[in-house]
Chain A
Amino acid sequence: MSMTSTLESNTRRVTLAVAVVAVDLGTKITATRLDHAPDAGLITPLRNPDYSLGIIHAESLWLIAGTIAVLAVAAWAYRRAANPTASWWVGPLVLGGAGANLIDRAVFGSVHDFITTPWVVFNLADVAVAIGLIGFYHDLHTRQRQEGRCTP
């Protein structure tokens, strides 16, 4: 890959990650303001001080440190694996979504959720991470299928 195209693809990755952070934080702020509306329909602003679905409960500082540690290990492993069939948007979606929730937790001590379903309330950063991870499993499946075809 040439230096220009590497720069272009890195710019594209950074742009997507920053866009995810901006859109997520923007919608969280908007949803918090909608809280005062008499009927916000599918929007119920709540705050989650814990990890996903309350699975792990701890001081916010420990949760922030945990997220950074998990992200660092994941980024190292992902780069080391260097999957040639990997989709360019997987890393930026996961990193952007994780970063947005991390900023939220660091600033407010908890994460803002607002998109309401009968079972859980979530935010756009959660959606970005979920799409990114589905993309990761899809890339993994594609690579394994290709390797299976190559080896006799």
Chain B
Amino acid sequence: MNNLRNTLRKAAIIAAPVVLAIATTAPRVRI
């Protein structure tokens, strides 16, 4: 149970900045 919690915590810590980057930056793909 603790292992699962630790894995989820680590996954959240790594994924959170990606979500933050998507929501706060606005680069635009060149057409």
Residues of A participating in the B interface, judged by any CB pair closer than 8 Å: 46-48, 50-56, 66-67, 70-71, 74, 77, 81, 94, 97-98, 101-102, 105, 111, 113, 116-123, 125-126, 129-130, 133, 136-137, 140
Contacts and interface: CB of A to CB of B under 8 A. Distances in A.
A98 B21 CA distance: 9
Contacts of A55: 22
Interface in B1-31: 13, 16-17, 19-30
A125 B23 CA distance: 13
Interface of B: 13, 16-17, 19-30
A51 B26 contact: yes
Nearest to A63: B23
Contact of A97 (B24, B29, B30): B24
A10 B13 CA distance: 25
Nearest to B13: A140
Contacts of A66: 23
Contact of B27 (A81, A98, A120): A120
A137 B24 CA distance: 17
Given A70-B19, A133-B17, A136-B17, A118 B24 contact: no
